[in-house]
Amino acid sequence: MTIADLRPADPADLDDHVDHDPVDGAHDRADGTDALHAWVDDIAALTRPDEVVWYDGSPAETDRLTKLLVAEGKLIRLNPEWRPNSFLARTDPGDVARVEDRTFICSEDADDAGPTNNWREPEGMRAELRDVFAGSMRGRTMYVVPFSMGPLGGPLSQLGVQVTDSAYVAVSLGMMTRVSPAVVSLIEAGAPWVRTVHSVGAPLVGADGVRSEDVAWPCNETKYIVQFPETREIWSYGSGYGGNAILAKKCFALRIASVMARDEGWLAEHMLIVKVTSPEGRVFHFAAAFPSACGKTNLAMLSPSIPGWTVETVGDDIAWLRQGPDGRLRAINPEAGFFGVAPGTGEKTNATAVSTLWGNTIFTNVALRDDGDVWWEGLTDEPPAHLVDWEGKDWTPGCGRPAAHPNSRFTVSAAQCPTIADDWDAFDGVPIDAILFGGRRATNVPLVAQARDWRHGVFIGATVSSEQTAAAEGTVGELRRDPFAMLPFCGYNMADYWAHWLRVGERLGEHAPAVFQVNWFRKGDDGRFLWPGFGENARVIEWIARRVEGSAGAVSTPIGRLPVVDELDLDGLDLPEEDVAELFEVDRASWLAECDLTEEFFDRFGSRVPPALRAELASLRYHLRG
């Protein structure tokens, strides 16, 4: 059976079909294709699209949709001489980023969502969604997109289906996931699947009498991004922006998947994955969790500065990890593409990313050059003399506003990355040798430290933070907490999430990966970065790899194991000895002050904080005072 066989009747004929409220969360129909087909019919009857189209992800269907989007003015085709088969999208200025204050976790129990999530009572939220989605797709086509997160049928993979009234979203899903008729076959055979629903919202009429439907990028002032963890559902309304609309991304891959992982004994993480090969040919796989603006993409596409080492990309954003038959933790990149931030990505900072974007790319909210190519801040040292900015306005250097939106994006297939690893799409994942955590810290946190054991590693992950501006002046300033880089993305109580990590470590036992903390951003008293970063970070990766294989030494300190400095390859860097010393300095008074801040943070979660993490905090204080 193909997707074409499953296309429902005209939505106008569905009035008598609906025997189930698609928003009530109860999916008691027969399993498999019947359930899928009936669910699609129910959503169509609720939202009233003019047409229902099943998107199969094929090049022909993708070409048809991009041509449609160009004809409607929602995509601009770029000059094929510079950027073949590539397009520029411009969103509404009010629809340019995730809307965290309108993102809800609707668990049955508010305590299951925890203090760091926006919780709403499920039934009340379903009533609100029923009202806004009723008729929301009138005048549009509803696209049905069956997709796999991870290789089709893989032991770490999961299936989903998104319905959306945005062709831009459908095409983006085709790049970010594995869209295929084979997904329907797996569902037909009884495989579980996550239901996701998206609408840009009912058309609005502005003061000028122009309907939002008549502009290039419709959206709605009212927005909802709603996760129902128990029923594995996502409903998104009012936004066409990527993170709010491409529901396989953070909504499924992290918020819903983290709950699935908790219930099934695996991990869904905001982590990159890299394959590292030593000069001797030994292969390592590392996963790393960094909050935004902490060097995540640069590490995922690292170009080592030291000879003999190679770093290849497995994934740049999401990792799903599960214990394999051999007892080791194995990981997949569940995505098939990159949805990266454009500003700051350039030849000097990330030449690999720039090379990836040679063609077959959708750019969103970047600037348009006069020759039909794109530009953003950081792409080149000097901006062009004239651009059309992300809002469609003329732009020149010195005009006082950015040419590209600070959160402008590119969407491109991962397979196009020149440093993509040969095992990036491995059916059963790759074995993880080490896990890295990092934040943006001007003080306290050394360049690299190894956790004593898994429990200590979970404590490090739970206390990941970046310093606010005050910290640049050398004080322990206010910390922006982002444990495991998951604060906006964990679908349940963060303290329960820490407890789940501890349980996973107990099951892994001797097979648990080593855990490290890195910090590329430590500064001296004069405000200088002490470490050059970028390609030189390979020197830290080298030490981590040598620790994993047991050939590098370490010095025990209250905060973990630090490198024996003579064993850290610093040749050719010309770092002053005092800078090297400061990179690894452990200021006991500052760390004790940070312990107090950590205790305050833990107290937000009350009695749900695992006793093991309270014990780690007490141990840290004891050794700092010793």
Q: Give the tens place of pLDDT for each residue, 453-483.
A: 999 999 999 999 997 543 233 344 578 999 9
Q: Is 335 annotated as a binding residue?
A: no
Q: Is 528 annotated as a binding residue?
A: no
Q: What is the mean pLDDT of residues 586-602?
A: 96
pLDDT score at 202: 74
User: Does 14 score more than 60 pLDDT?
Assistant: no
Q: Is 238 annotated as a binding residue?
A: no
Is residue 356 within 8 Å of residue 416, measured between CB atoms? yes
Q: Is 85 annotated as a binding residue?
A: no
pLDDT score at 21: 80
User: Does 30 score more than 90 pLDDT?
Assistant: no
Sign of torsion over alpha carbons 421, 422, 427, 430: negative
Confidence of residue 293 (pLDDT cuts 50, 70, 90): confident
State the DSSP H helix or E strand holding residue 38, giving kind and residue range, or none if neither.
helix 33-47
C-alpha–C-alpha distance, residues 42 and 224, integer Å: 20
Q: Give the tens place of pLDDT for each residue, 71-100.
A: 999 999 999 999 999 999 999 998 998 899
User: Does 204 score more than 60 pLDDT?
Assistant: no
Q: Collect all residues with Cβ–Cβ distance below 8 Å to 142 and sequence separation of at least 6.
A: 11, 43, 44, 47, 49, 51, 52, 53, 163, 164, 165
Exactly one of 294, 399, 417, 595 is catalytic; name it.
294
pLDDT score at 31: 58
pLDDT score at 210: 54
DSSP structural state of residue 392: S
Q: Is 407 annotated as a binding residue?
A: yes
Is 294 an annotated catalytic residue? yes
Bridge-based pairing state of the strands 448-450 and 178-179:
unpaired
Q: Is 241 annotated as a binding residue?
A: yes
On the 0-12 / 13-18 / 19+ scale of CB atoms within 10 A, 28 is exposed
State the DSSP H helix or E strand holding residue 340, giving kind and residue range, or none if neither.
strand 337-341
Residues linked to residue 437 through DSSP beta bridges, in sequence order: 289, 517
Is residue 508 within 8 Å of residue 454, measured between CB atoms? yes
Q: Is 295 annotated as a binding residue?
A: yes
pLDDT score at 24: 82
Is residue 352 within 8 Å of residue 303, measured between CB atoms? yes
Q: What is the mean pLDDT of residues 360-373?
A: 98
Q: Which domains does the chain have, with CATH numbers?
A: 3-57+99-265 (3.40.449.10), 268-336+425-625 (3.90.228.20)
Residues linked to residue 285 through DSSP beta bridges, in sequence order: 275
Q: What is the mean pLDDT of residues 35-62?
A: 97
Q: Give the tens place of pLDDT for each residue, 206-230.
A: 555 555 565 567 788 899 999 999 9
User: Does 9 score more than 90 pLDDT?
Assistant: no
Confidence of residue 626 (pLDDT cuts 50, 70, 90): confident
Which residue did the predictor score with more confidence, 12 or 395? 395
- The chain-wide mean pLDDT, for the chain, equals 92
Q: Is 32 annotated as a binding residue?
A: no
Q: Is 106 annotated as a binding residue?
A: no
Confidence of residue 25 (pLDDT cuts 50, 70, 90): confident
Q: What is the mean pLDDT of residues 427-436?
A: 98
Q: Is 409 annotated as a binding residue?
A: yes
Q: Give the tens place of pLDDT for each residue, 475-507.
A: 445 789 999 999 999 999 999 999 999 999 999
Q: Is 98 annotated as a binding residue?
A: yes
DSSP structural state of residue 420: B
Q: Give the tens place of pLDDT for each residue, 152-195.
A: 999 999 999 999 999 999 999 999 999 999 999 999 999 999 99
User: Does 118 score more than 80 pLDDT?
Assistant: yes
User: Does 12 score more than 90 pLDDT?
Assistant: no
Is residue 423 within 8 Å of residue 275, measured between CB atoms? yes
User: Does 2 score more than 60 pLDDT?
Assistant: no
DSSP structural state of residue 248: I
User: Does 23 score more than 90 pLDDT?
Assistant: no
DSSP structural state of residue 19: -
User: Does 28 score more than 70 pLDDT?
Assistant: no
Is residue 531 within 8 Å of residue 447, measured between CB atoms? yes
pLDDT score at 521: 95
Q: Is 298 annotated as a binding residue?
A: yes
Q: What is the mean pLDDT of residues 243-256?
A: 96
pTM here?
0.94
Q: Is 164 annotated as a binding residue?
A: no
Of the given ranges (130-134, 347-351, 426-430, 617-621), which has the lowest mean pLDDT?
347-351
Structure tokens at 366: 């970047």
Q: Is 55 annotated as a binding residue?
A: no
Q: What is the mean pLDDT of residues 231-251?
A: 95
Q: Is 223 annotated as a binding residue?
A: no
